[in-house]
C-alpha cells in the first residue's frame, strides 16, 4: 500500500494517518479487501482548503482496465478536514462498496445517490453549466446570498484590485510606451485589454493611475489609450461601467468568450500592447490526468446528489423525486424563473449546488478514443513535459486555460505582453504537496492552473513564460504569469 500524506493533521479531532491505516487493515482482516488490493492501494491524505467542494470525507477512485473488463485497483482519498476517527470506518465502507463489487453486503452504504450525468472528462461535466449559470445570473445569486462574489475570495477581495499591484503594472506599461516612443515605434492607439472584468474595479484603478502618471511625467499617452473591457456576461459588463465612468472616452465594452478572444477581436491581431487577466484561467473547463506505474490515465467524473440530499431537496421544493433531474435541467436551460417564484428558484439552485458531489474513475488513455482527450493534446509532447515530474502524479491539463492562452497570444503586438494573476502550479512536484481543486466559490468552480504545462505550450508558440509570486498580500497563493515574445 502506498500512503501519500499531502497534509499533516494539526487538529486532534481530525483522523490521523494511523487511524486511516488501522481502518484499512481491519477491513482487510474482515475480508472486505483482498490482500492484492490492499497491497496495491494508493491512499491520499488531503486537507481540502475549500470549505465547499465536491468531495465526501472518503472518496474512492476506481482504476479501470477496459482490456480485462474488471477493476483491479482503486485509490482512496481521505479529506482530513471532514473525516473524524469516529466516522472513518463508516465513510470507508460507504465509499468502497460501490467501487468494489463483492466488497461486502452493505446495502445501505451501496446507495450511489442520484446521478446527474454519465461519466466523462470533467471539462464536459454539468458542473460547468452551473458555473456558466452563475456568471450569467450573478446579480440574482448575490441578491439571494446578500453578499458579492468577491467576499467569497480569500481575504474577502480580489488580488486584482490591490492598489500597489495596479500601480506597478501601470509603471511597467508607461515604461514600455516611453521606450517605443524613443524608438519611434509608438502606435497612434495604445490598446489595452482586460479579460474577466468583475466589477470593473481594476480597470478603473488602472486608468486613474495611468492618467495621473501621464500628467506627472508630461507625456501624452493617456489620450491614446483604448481600454477594452471584455467579459462573456453582458450583465457583468454593464455593472463594470460605473467603475470607469470617468474614462468613458477611453473605454469599450466587449462581450467575448475568454476561451477564444480572437473570435471577437480578430481586427486587433498583433495590435494589443497589454492584456491582463485575474482568476480567469482557474474558472475555465478543466480535466485531470494521472500517471501510475508508467501509464497515463484520464480522470473521468460524474456529478451526483447524495441520496439523502436529493430526497430532502425534492421534499422541500415539492418536486417528485423522479422529476428532480428534469427540474435541474430546466434550471440550467431557463434559469431560476422556471419555478414561477424566482426567489424560490434561486434557493433551489443554491441548494442543488451546495449538495452536488463528484464521483471519479480513472481510465487508461490507451483504452480511450482520441476525442476523449483535450483538443491538440499530443501525448508524445506531454511525455516530454513530464520527463522531470515525479513518477506517480495526478495533475491538471487545464484545456480551457490552454485554449484561451493559444487564442490570446496572437492579439499581442511584437512588444506586447500578457499578464495573468492566478493560482498556478509552477513545478510538477507541487502537485504532491496539496489539494489543487476543484473547489467551490459560491456558485462557481475554482481549479489551480498547471503553469508547468502552460510554459511548455508557450515555448512551442515562440513565447517565454515567467512566474513571480504575488508579493502584495501576505499568505496569497496567487502567482503572476508574464509572457515575453522571443526575438
- Which residues pair with residue 63 across a beta bridge? 73, 362
Other beta carbons less than 10 A from residue 223's beta carbon = 12
Dihedral sign for Cα 233, 234, 240, 246, please.
positive
pLDDT recorded at residue 368: 67
Q: Give the separation between CA 234 and CA 230, rounded to whole angstroms.
A: 9
Contact 135, 442 (CB under 8 A): no
Contact 15, 9 (CB under 8 A): yes
Contact 280, 159 (CB under 8 A): no
List the grid coordinates of 445: 468552480
pLDDT recorded at residue 66: 53
Secondary structure letter of residue 294 according to DSSP? T
pLDDT recorded at residue 282: 94
pLDDT recorded at residue 110: 43
| Cα 467 from chain centroid (whole Å) | 18
Contact 250, 398 (CB under 8 A): no
E-strand stretches of 6-141: 42-46, 58-65, 70-79, 114-115, 120-121
Q: Give the separation between CA 447 and CA 285, rounded to whole angstroms.
A: 9
Contact 461, 408 (CB under 8 A): no
Other beta carbons less than 10 A from residue 52's beta carbon = 15
Closest CA to 426 of 377, 469, 365: 469
What's the CA angle centered on 120, arms 132 and 377, to 5 degrees? Answer: 90
CA neighbours closer than 13 Å in the CB half-sphere of residue 338: 13
Secondary structure letter of residue 32 according to DSSP? S
What is the residue extent of each domain of the chain?
Answer: 1-111
- List the chain pLDDT tens, one digit each, 487 residues: 888 887 665 666 677 888 888 998 888 888 877 787 788 788 888 888 888 899 999 998 988 765 554 545 788 999 988 888 888 888 888 887 655 444 433 333 345 689 999 999 999 999 999 999 999 898 899 888 887 767 666 566 677 888 999 999 999 999 999 999 999 999 999 999 999 998 899 999 999 999 999 999 999 999 999 999 999 888 889 999 999 999 999 999 999 999 999 999 999 999 999 999 999 999 999 999 998 877 888 999 999 999 999 999 999 999 998 999 999 999 999 999 888 889 999 999 999 999 999 999 998 887 666 666 666 666 777 787 888 888 888 999 999 999 999 999 999 999 999 999 999 999 998 998 888 989 998 899 999 999 998 888 788 778 889 999 998 888 888 999 999 887 6
Amino acid at each position: 500500500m502506498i500512503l501519500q500524506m499531502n497534509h499533516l493533521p494539526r487538529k486532534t479531532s481530525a483522523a490521523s494517518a494511523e487511524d486511516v491505516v488501522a481502518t484499512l487493515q481491519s477491513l482487510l482482516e474482515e475480508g472486505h479487501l483482498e490482500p492484492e488490493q490492499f497491497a496495491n492501494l494508493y491512499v491520499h491524505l488531503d486537507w481540502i482548503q475549500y470549505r465547499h467542494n465536491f468531495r465526501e470525507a472518503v472518496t474512492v477512485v476506481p482504476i479501470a482496465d477496459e482490456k480485462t473488463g474488471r477493476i483491479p485497483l482503486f485509490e482512496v482519498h481521505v479529506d482530513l478536514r471532514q473525516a473524524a476517527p469516529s466516522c472513518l470506518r463508516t465513510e470507508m465502507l460507504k465509499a468502497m462498496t460501490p467501487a468494489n463489487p463483492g466488497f461486502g453486503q452493505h446495502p445501505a452504504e451501496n446507495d450511489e445517490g442520484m446521478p446527474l450525468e454519465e461519466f466523462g472528462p470533467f471539462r464536459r461535466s454539468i458542473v460547468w453549466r452551473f458555473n456558466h449559470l452563475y456568471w450569467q445570473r450573478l446579480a440574482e445569486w448575490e441578491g439571494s446570498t446578500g453578499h458579492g462574489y468577491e467576499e467569497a475570495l480569500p481575504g474577502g477581495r480580489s488580488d486584482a484590485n490591490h492598489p500597489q499591484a495596479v500601480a506597478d503594472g501601470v509603471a511597467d506599461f508607461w515604461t514600455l510606451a516611453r521606450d517605443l516612443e524613443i524608438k519611434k515605434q509608438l502606435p497612434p492607439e495604445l490598446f489595452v485589454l482586460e479579460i474577466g472584468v468583475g466589477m470593473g474595479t481594476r480597470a478603473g484603478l488602472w486608468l486613474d493611475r495611468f492618467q495621473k502618471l501621464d500628467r506627472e511625467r508630461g507625456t501624452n499617452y493617456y489620450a491614446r489609450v483604448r481600454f477594452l473591457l471584455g467579459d462573456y456576461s453582458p450583465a457583468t459588463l454593464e455593472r463594470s461601467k460605473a467603475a470607469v465612468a470617468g474614462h468613458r472616452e477611453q473605454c469599450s465594452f466587449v462581450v467575448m468568450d475568454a476561451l477564444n478572444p480572437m473570435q471577437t477581436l480578430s481586427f486587433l491581431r498583433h495590435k494589443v500592447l497589454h492584456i491582463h487577466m485575474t482568476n480567469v484561467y482557474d474558472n475555465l473547463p478543466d480535466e485531470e490526468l494521472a500517471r501510475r506505474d508508467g501509464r497515463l490515465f484520464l480522470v473521468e467524473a460524474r456529478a451526483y446528489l447524495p441520496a439523502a440530499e436529493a430526497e430532502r431537496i425534492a421534499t422541500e421544493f415539492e418536486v417528485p423525486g423522479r422529476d428532480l433531474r428534469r427540474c435541474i435541467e430546466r434550471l440550467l436551460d431557463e434559469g431560476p424563473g422556471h419555478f414561477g417564484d424566482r426567489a424560490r428558484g434561486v434557493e433551489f439552485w443554491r441548494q442543488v449546488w451546495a449538495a452536488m458531489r463528484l464521483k471519479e474513475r480513472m481510465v487508461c488513455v490507451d483504452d480511450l478514443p482520441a476525442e476523449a482527450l483535450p483538443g491538440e493534446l499530443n501525448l508524445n509532447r506531454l511525455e516530454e513535459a513530464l520527463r522531470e515530474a515525479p513518477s506517480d502524479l495526478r495533475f491538471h491539463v487545464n484545456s480551457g486555460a490552454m485554449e484561451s492562452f493559444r487564442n490570446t497570444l496572437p492579439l499581442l503586438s511584437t512588444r506586447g505582453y500578457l499578464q495573468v494573476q492566478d493560482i498556478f502550479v509552477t513545478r510538477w512536484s507541487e502537485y504532491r504537496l496539496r489539494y489543487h481543486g476543484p473547489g467551490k466559490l459560491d456558485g462557481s468552480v475554482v481549479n489551480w492552473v498547471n503553469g508547468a504545462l502552460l510554459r511548455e505550450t508557450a515555448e512551442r508558440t515562440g513565447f517565454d513564460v515567467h512566474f513571480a509570486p504575488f508579493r502584495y498580500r501576505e499568505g496569497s497563493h496567487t502567482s503572476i504569469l508574464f509572457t515575453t515574445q522571443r526575438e
